[in-house]
A and B are shown apart, each in its own frame.
Chain A
Amino acid sequence: MNNISRHSNSKKTPTVEYPRFYLYIRIVQAKLFIDNNYAEEIDLDNISDEAYFSKFHFIRLFKSIYGKTPHQYLISVRVEKAQQLLRNDKTVSEACFLVGFKSITTFSGLFKKVAGESPSSYAARHKEAKEQARKAPLTFVPGCYAYQHGWLENSNFEEGNI
């Protein structure tokens, strides 16, 4: 890595010819489609059809780029979005349906598989942390940073003891 001006002046480093350029574009579009429509009923067969791939070829290429099959990736996006919702005080059932799952049992099982804990446990842990952050925010900040910013001197925003 180097600075911008040196790179932008570089003339002896031609852009790489994209390997399988159109395939890349289609796989990336499929990934972005999942990112933007995860809460809808996504038919992954339709995605591969729209990408003009056989289903097998599509899944293989997707996995080679993203390390997950499209289905696994969709589950991971839904769980991640559910985590955001749970951190923002949604209930487990609200989070489940808002991210596109149809069954709380399925949601809870997949959530635990991906996140390593149940949705209710995740929500409770984050609720507690949020409360701690409200009461004693400086406990989340390394002392060196708090000192440098002057937050230790002006900590009247903090209710708890440090």
Chain B
Amino acid sequence: MITKMTITNIHVINQDSAYDFYVNKLGFKLVDDIPMGPDARWLTVSPPEQPDLQLVLFPVKVSKIFPKETAETLISLIKQGVFGCGVLTCNDVFATYEELKAKGVEFIKPPTKEFYGTEALFKDDSGNFFSLQPINNFGK
């Protein structure tokens, strides 16, 4: 029986910029920022109230994992905003929207009433997008 999601990846184009976005703008907590040699870095963050879930800010660059063509294709798709990385929840979607907007976060959709509840959509610094919803959309 699977019990938890512990680690997941967010593919980012630049780790420095992603650090600034996730830590300084979204308010995520830094978990690890450890150099792994001259060109590599283990960089993970957690949502503020979810310390047991680590998001790996996983750089897309030409490497053992990503051959040149794959890296270029993936970067292009991320920039186009093809990838949705999930739903982030908050107590109050209007206040969170105003706060993130004031911090320069780019919203694709302001808080909008959908049949499933109020939702806003924003992009990270790479182009990945997230849904922002109040926790009560999920009956909690």
User: Does the CB pair A16–B113 fall under 8 Å?
Assistant: yes
Given A28-B98, A32-B99, A65-B91, the answer on whether A149 and B84 have CB atoms closer than 8 Å is: no
Chain B residues with CB below 8 A from A28, complex form? 95, 98-99, 102
CB of B86 closer than 8 Å to a CB of A: yes
User: Does the CB pair A140–B114 fall under 8 Å?
Assistant: no
User: Does the CB pair A24–B98 fall under 8 Å?
Assistant: yes
Report the interface size class on chain A: 35 or more
Chain A residues with CB below 8 A from B108, complex form? 4, 7-8
Residue of B37, B63, B91, B110 near A15 (CB, 8 A) is B110
Taking CB atoms and an 8 Å cut-off, the chain B residues in 103-126 that contact chain A are: 108-114, 118-119, 121
User: Does the CB pair A8–B95 fall under 8 Å?
Assistant: no
Chain B residues with CB below 8 A from A1, complex form? 84, 86-87, 119, 121, 131
Taking CB atoms and an 8 Å cut-off, the chain A residues in 1-43 that contact chain B are: 1-4, 7-8, 13-16, 18-19, 24-25, 27-29, 31-32
- Which A-B residue pairs are the 6 nearest by beta carbons? A1-B131, A28-B98, A4-B81, A150-B64, A157-B37, A65-B95
6 A-B pairs with CB atoms under 8 Å apart are: A1-B84, A1-B87, A7-B121, A15-B112, A16-B113, A138-B36
